[in-house]
Amino acid sequence: MIAGDAYVTKQGVYIYPNDEVDIDSLTSFILDNEYRATHYRKNYDLYTGQHDILRKPHDLQSARPDNRLVSNWANYVVDTYVGYFMGKPPKISLESDTNNKKLQDWLNFNSFQDKLTEVAKQVAVYGRSYMLAYQNENSDTEVAVIDPSSGFMIYDTSINQKPIAFVRYGYFNNQLNGEIYTANKIKEFSEKQFTKEKTSLFKEVPAVEFISNSERLSIVNKIKTLVDEYDRAFSQKANQVAYFDEAYLKVLGITLPKDDNGNPIFNLGENKILYSPDPNATNGDVDFISKPDGDTMQENMLNRLKDDIFQTAMVANLNDEAFSGNASGVAIKYKLLSMQNQAAVEERKFRISLRNLLGSVIGMGKVIGTVDKEQVRKDLHFKFDRNVPLDLANQADTASKLTGITSKETQLKTLDIVDDPKKEMQRIADEQAEQVKQAVKNTASATDLVKGGNNGEDTQQPQERGLLEGSGTSGKEMDKPKPS
């Protein structure tokens, strides 16, 4: 419970029982999201390399080395996974060729695939991300990516948890400002009061939440403590290496020359020498003082932490020995199985969000014209391709075996090198038509009309053209009766 009837679930989902969110409940939602934003910023720091170990105070009284090393595994894991999941942009299409062309134009105009990649990265870092549709100054429909530290969704109390409002906010000159988007209105607010209100043309909340799992658990959250411990262990190893380099030389039982003041000819502190003369000693000892070596234990610790980071994140370490050699595409897919399973779950979540967002955007009637919103949602098709090395020989073999079993479009969908099966089918049809045309031209029995004149131009007269068309004659002669 946050305030009044508003409450938040253990997954961090905001619930409100009414369609109209009052200002007090809105303020309490924002305060709770600000608390969660501290964890989002921690995850962002891990991703960008600004780890906690860099902010710890230095012990100025200690003479021991104090290295601060960061191994940015969070960045590597997130970028590897996002490259695998969204490195090849998903194909979004409609059944109708005319509508599909207009949709592709809109997607390209909005750089939608790039924004979708940014969404996937935010989901991997924060556990959630948002896309907001809006009308620009030219009344064109656009979308923007909103990170969870500056926006959130509010759902109703139904079993389906239908979105009732999206909130985008920020602090400008230490003053809270923002907007709340509902199905019919867009309300601006400042501090603890609503200021302006305008009508929304979408007729439903123009935003969606993207998640990878129902728990809103990000990849960075999974490995947060492991990365911090790896930084500590790695820095400690560097400290010990530096400490071992500062080995002391012991000179025992030997009297060394002195300067004019009766002092040793070397500086004991700067040269790191332990000196104990003994004029009566018969056996002198000159050697470096050995220090305990924990290198093997430290290496085992670092390797264990690294393995746990990748296993916990369910992301393959592409630098591992398992990926060495010339493995086939199928073998590599088995090695990527854990990452593939994680991506499959996330893909299903993304499909739901994309269908809701694009259905709302297209349903406005400004993208492809006036359409039935619910029918458009049904007609939308999504094809996600994992970014893995292609085994084209195996795919070509599979496609050829599907001849006569599936449709041509389904057959082409098995080939990763084909971006748009519909367009590829049209290219095939055009090529076949051109081949037929050339074959007819090159036959020995082809008429001059078919073969063409100089430079491929038709040099026949209109009357001759009628003969080719099977009319026997042309022009008005067709109407004249033949003599008996």
Residue 186 has pLDDT above 70, yes or no: yes
Residue 136 has pLDDT above 60, yes or no: yes
Q: What was the pLDDT predicted at 416? A: 73
Q: Please list the alpha-helical segments (H only) found in 64-151.
A: 73-86, 97-109, 112-126
- Comparing 67 with 120, which gets the higher pLDDT? 120
The tens digit of pLDDT for each residue in 278-328 reads: 766 567 777 666 666 667 888 899 999 999 999 999 999 888 776 666 556
**What's the mean pLDDT in 183-212?**
93
Instruction: Give residues with Cβ within 8 angstroms of 213, minimum separation 6.
Output: 345, 346, 349
- pLDDT band, residue 21 (cuts 50/70/90): very high
Residue 264 has pLDDT above 60, yes or no: yes
- Comparing 20 with 283, which gets the higher pLDDT? 20
The tens digit of pLDDT for each residue in 55-105 reads: 988 877 776 778 899 999 999 999 999 999 999 899 999 988 889 999 999
- pLDDT band, residue 465 (cuts 50/70/90): very low
d(CA 322, CA 312): 18
d(CA 455, CA 174): 75
Residue 215 has pLDDT above 80, yes or no: yes
- Comparing 470 with 172, which gets the higher pLDDT? 172
Most confident of 138-147, 231-240, 279-288, 459-468: 138-147
Among the residue ranges 152-156, 292-296, 435-439, the one predicted with the least confidence is: 292-296
Residue 204 has pLDDT above 70, yes or no: yes
Q: Please give the single-letter amino acid code of residue 221.
A: N
The tens digit of pLDDT for each residue in 338-353 reads: 999 999 999 999 999 9
Q: Please give the single-letter amino acid code of residue 72.
A: N
Q: What was the pLDDT predicted at 64? A: 74
Q: Please give the single-letter amino acid code of residue 27.
A: T
Q: Rounded to whole angstroms, what are the CA distances from 355 to 162, 216, 338, 380?
A: 14, 20, 26, 7
- Comparing 317 with 153, which gets the higher pLDDT? 153
Question: What is the rounded end-to-end Cα distance, in angstroms, of the chain?
Answer: 104
- pLDDT band, residue 468 (cuts 50/70/90): very low
Residue 472 has pLDDT above 60, yes or no: no
Torsion angle defined by CA atoms of residues 410, 414, 417 and 418, in that order, rounded to the nearest 10 degrees: 10
Pairing relationship of beta strands 163-172 and 128-135 according to DSSP bridges: unpaired
CB 315 within 8 A of CB 81: yes
Among the residue ranges 108-112, 194-198, 245-249, the one predicted with the least confidence is: 245-249
Torsion angle defined by CA atoms of residues 202, 134, 198 and 175, in that order, rounded to the nearest 10 degrees: 140
Residue 254 has pLDDT above 50, yes or no: yes
What are the residue ranges spanned by the domains of the chain? 7-59+89-214, 220-307, 443-478
- Average of per-residue pLDDT values in the chain: 84
- Comparing 269 with 174, which gets the higher pLDDT? 174
